[in-house]
Structure 1
Amino acid sequence: MIHRDPTAEHRAFRETVRTFVRNELAPRAREFDRMGKLDKSLFPKMGELGMLGLRYDEAYGGAGLDWSYTAILCEELGNADNMGVMTGITVHTDMATPSLHRFGSEALKHEYLAPAIRGEMVSAIAVTEPDAGSDVAGIRTRAVRDGDDWIVNGSKIYITNAATADWLCLLAVTDPGAGHKGFSQIIVPTDTPGISYNLLDKIGFWGSDTGQFFLEDVRVPVSNTIGEIGRGFQQQMMQFQDERLVVTIGLIAYCEALWGKTCEWARERKLFGQTLISMQNTQFKLVECKTELTTARLLNQACVDSLVAGQDATELISMAKLYCGRVARRVADECFQLHGGFAYMKESMAGRAFCDTRIASIGGGSDETMMHYLAKRWRL
């Protein structure tokens, strides 16, 4: 693995996260799968270790650090042997809270962001709908103003942390005739009357709770609007960049761990009088996988470096999201094949990875969405 921890502080933080993953997450990986969600009691522990608000202002309990620390967090979470768990955590740290930190009022930050950083509240991002996935502009959930309140009606689907979240960062239509300027981001507490959810039965990501929310005449204060009314679409596009990068960093780290497990398997597996790893076909497959993983890691590092330097990394992040998803799928497929029949067992990391990595090319912006954006940016 290629690590670039330039300071003693970076190395110390990596060791902190690594120890937490080794002691609290990895040993319970299959337990979380059986639970169908992450143990909520772990969030305060992560808060105490300073893992939940790395880039957020110290005024709200954050660490005031840069993206290099977020990258370390995601890399080490990739060693938890459970992509669902990794996703549940990073949804909270980097998918549902960035807009609140960037654009939220002081009152909202103290009421929702500070407890989230402490791990006392868990958050979720609610954008996708049954008829609006990659086409974010096609969402139908409406928030109609009634005095000082919004009345929200609609449905959101594929929501990570559905059973765990205390509040949603929800994107709704607040002005149907205003196009992209007619959306707003609203914090909706999940215990608000009129909210219900169903959990979804997935083929992977068993360690996270994914569900569909139903909102019927849900009343929340207009003051729960994040940023300006009508700026929600633009704010969510910015928040997607955080989401995509944490996904790609954690994904590649997870696949590097899978590659290592596959090498161990190949050294022990014997057939035709020799070990699997001694066969040239196996060696070539593993070399190709490692080369692609290293290339993907370097692309992710370029994204992080750009953000640390204060640059717009949207183009790089879009390429990373596209490339890393495809690399992960190829690596998972090759590792699955090398494990043979055992890969089809639930206890096999190769089997779990085969399902878990597939969603990386869909969630957070599909491959097609990334290519469409890049083609427009490059004026093709």
Structure 2
Amino acid sequence: MSKMYFTEEHELFRKSLQDFLKKEVVPHIEKWEETGTIDRFIWKKFGDMGYFGIAYPEEFGGLDLDLFYTVILLEELQKINSGGFAAAIWAHAYLAMTHINKEGDQRIKEEYLSPSITGDKIGCLCVTEPFGGSDVAGMRTTAVKDGDHYVINGSKTFITNGVYSDYLVVAAKTSPELGNKGISIFVIDRDTPGVSSVKLDKLGWRASDTGEIAFDGVRIPKENLMGEENKGFSYIMQHFSLERLIMGINAHARSEYAVEYTIQYMSEREAFGKTLDKFQALRHSIAEMASEIEMSKEFNYSVARRLDKGEYVVKEATMSKLLSTKIADEVAYKCLQMLGGYGYMEDYPLARLMRDSRLGPIGGGTSEILKEIIAKIIIDKKEYKPAT
């Protein structure tokens, strides 16, 4: 492991995390994949171990550690081969909780961030809509002020933790006439009257509860507005860098897992009197994949270090997600092929990995949208700036 990015303390953390996942998570993965429901006890165990508090202030029970502890958490979650479980964990810890931490006031942090860190509350981030997709500015959900309350109407879809979470971080238009300059961010309790959800049936990420959520006349106190009214779009854009880098790191980690598993399989499987790892065509394919993964990983580490220093890395994080997820899909496809018929069997890990990997170029901004963002930066010289 690169000493440029990881200290001895990082590696001790990685080993401890690996032991925890092997003991507490892996034995339950098959059940959670089948049922689409992650047992509640595991959230509390993650909280007790401090894993939800890695990036958050000590004032609220966090550990306030550098971003490479998060990198380790993401990498090791990918290597237990359940994209759905991994997504449920990081969507809570780095999508919902990021907004609570960055835009929430003292009361909101005490009521939502602290119990999120301990694993007593689970959050989800609600931005994508049935008619909007990657078009965040085109959202239709509204929040209309009514005295000391806001009344929220609309719907969200493809929301990770959208069914079983305890609270929702919701983007809604407070001034629809202003377009993307009229979006605000709110926190809403799951049991608020008018909130309902339906679980979606997915190709992959089977362990996670991806939901479609409806808001029908949902009344919330005006104090549940996070940050400034009509500043929500800039908050969302600012945090997209972290989300996209997370998905890039996820991609290089599952690619690494796929190749490691395939090499092990090839060393044991014989054909025509020799093991598969002795066939030049297969060896060279492995060499090519390993090279692409290494380049992807090194780039992602570099971006993570810059983000950790406070740099605004919207271009680099977008590139990370675009290329890392593309490489991951190609690696999953090629590795499955190397297992032949066994690769197609659910008893072997690559069938699930390929299904889970396919969401990489879709979630958190499709590859097509990312290409246009990069094109605007490179060709049109557009500058994306932090929220002020």
Match of 2:125, SS state, is strand
Following TM superposition, by how much is the alpha carbon of 1:343 offset from its aligned partner in structure 2, in angstroms?
A: 1.9
Aligned partner of 2:367 in structure 1 is 367
Gaps in structure 2 of 5+ consecutive residues: 381-388
Aligned partner of 1:238 in structure 2 is 238
Give the stretch that moved more between structures: 329-338 or 41-50. 41-50
In the alignment, the residues of structure 1 paired with residue 27 and residue 339 of structure 2 have an alpha-carbon distance, to the nearest angstrom, of: 22
Following TM superposition, by how much is the alpha carbon of 1:120 offset from its aligned partner in structure 2, in angstroms?
A: 0.4
Following TM superposition, by how much is the alpha carbon of 1:8 offset from its aligned partner in structure 2, in angstroms?
A: 3.3
Write the letter of the residue equivalent to 1:309. K
Which residues in structure 2 correspond to 1:16-27 (within 5 Å)? 16-27=16-27
Which residues in structure 2 correspond to 1:208-247 (within 5 Å)? 208-247=208-247
Following TM superposition, by how much is the alpha carbon of 1:287 offset from its aligned partner in structure 2, in angstroms?
A: 0.9
Report the count of equivalent residues: 380
Give the stretch that moved more between structures: 286-295 or 22-31. 22-31
Aligned partner of 1:206 in structure 2 is 206
> Deviation digits for residues 171-217 of structure 1, max 9, x if unmatched?
11111111222101111111111111111111111111111111111
Q: Compared with structure 1, are the counterparts of its residues 379 and 5 closer, same or farther at alpha carbon in structure 2 (3 Å cutoff)?
A: closer
In the alignment, the residues of structure 1 paired with residue 139 and residue 149 of structure 2 have an alpha-carbon distance, to the nearest angstrom, of: 21
In the alignment, the residues of structure 2 paired with residue 163 and residue 310 of structure 1 have an alpha-carbon distance, to the nearest angstrom, of: 33
> Deviation digits for residues 294-315 of structure 1, max 9, x if unmatched?
1110111011110122212211
Which residues in structure 2 correspond to 1:159-178 (within 5 Å)? 159-178=159-178
Aligned partner of 1:186 in structure 2 is 186
For the 8 Å contact 2:138–2:179, the answer to whether it is kept is no
Please tell me whether residue 9 in structure 1 is matched to residue 9 in structure 2: yes
Aligned partner of 2:32 in structure 1 is 32
Match of 2:360, SS state, is helix
Match of 2:37, SS state, is coil
In the alignment, the residues of structure 1 paired with residue 8 and residue 281 of structure 2 have an alpha-carbon distance, to the nearest angstrom, of: 41
Write the letter of the residue equivalent to 1:271. A
In the alignment, the residues of structure 1 paired with residue 16 and residue 228 of structure 2 have an alpha-carbon distance, to the nearest angstrom, of: 38
Aligned partner of 1:315 in structure 2 is 315
Aligned partner of 1:377 in structure 2 is 377
Aligned partner of 1:115 in structure 2 is 115
Please tell me whether residue 272 in structure 1 is matched to residue 277 in structure 2: no
Stretches of 4+ aligned residues off by more than 4 angstroms: 1-5
> Deviation digits for residues 214-259 of structure 1, max 9, x if unmatched?
1111111111111011111110111222211122212221221111
Aligned partner of 2:132 in structure 1 is 132
TM-score by length of 1: 0.97
> Deviation digits for residues 280-335 of structure 1, max 9, x if unmatched?
11111111111111111011101111012221221111110101010001100101
Gaps in structure 1 of 5+ consecutive residues: none
> Deviation digits for residues 8-55 of structure 1, max 9, x if unmatched?
322222222112111112232212101213222111111111110212
Write the letter of the residue equivalent to 2:316. L
For the 8 Å contact 2:81–2:353, the answer to whether it is kept is no
Following TM superposition, by how much is the alpha carbon of 1:2 offset from its aligned partner in structure 2, in angstroms?
A: 5.2
In the alignment, the residues of structure 1 paired with residue 2 and residue 223 of structure 2 have an alpha-carbon distance, to the nearest angstrom, of: 45
For the 8 Å contact 2:38–2:85, the answer to whether it is kept is yes
For the 8 Å contact 1:21–1:79, the answer to whether it is kept is no
Write the letter of the residue equivalent to 1:145. K
In the alignment, the residues of structure 2 paired with residue 92 and residue 151 of structure 1 have an alpha-carbon distance, to the nearest angstrom, of: 25
Write the letter of the residue equivalent to 1:21. L
Aligned partner of 1:141 in structure 2 is 141
Following TM superposition, by how much is the alpha carbon of 1:67 offset from its aligned partner in structure 2, in angstroms?
A: 1.0
Following TM superposition, by how much is the alpha carbon of 1:4 offset from its aligned partner in structure 2, in angstroms?
A: 5.2
Write the letter of the residue equivalent to 1:61. G
In the alignment, the residues of structure 2 paired with residue 40 and residue 60 of structure 1 have an alpha-carbon distance, to the nearest angstrom, of: 22
Write the letter of the residue equivalent to 1:199. K
Write the letter of the residue equivalent to 2:172. A
Aligned partner of 2:48 in structure 1 is 48
Match of 1:177, SS state, is helix
Sequence identity percentage: 36
CA RMSD of aligned residues (A): 1.4
In the alignment, the residues of structure 2 paired with residue 4 and residue 78 of structure 1 have an alpha-carbon distance, to the nearest angstrom, of: 22
For the 8 Å contact 1:126–1:171, the answer to whether it is kept is yes
Following TM superposition, by how much is the alpha carbon of 1:370 offset from its aligned partner in structure 2, in angstroms?
A: 1.3
For the 8 Å contact 1:302–1:316, the answer to whether it is kept is no
> Deviation digits for residues 97-144 of structure 1, max 9, x if unmatched?
112211211111101111101110000111111111111111111111
In the alignment, the residues of structure 2 paired with residue 108 and residue 5 of structure 1 have an alpha-carbon distance, to the nearest angstrom, of: 34
Aligned partner of 1:297 in structure 2 is 297
In the alignment, the residues of structure 1 paired with residue 170 and residue 299 of structure 2 have an alpha-carbon distance, to the nearest angstrom, of: 31
TM-score by length of 2: 0.95
Q: Compared with structure 1, are the counterparts of its residues 2 and 360 closer, same or farther at alpha carbon in structure 2 (3 Å cutoff)?
A: farther
In the alignment, the residues of structure 1 paired with residue 353 and residue 272 of structure 2 have an alpha-carbon distance, to the nearest angstrom, of: 27
Match of 2:358, SS state, is helix
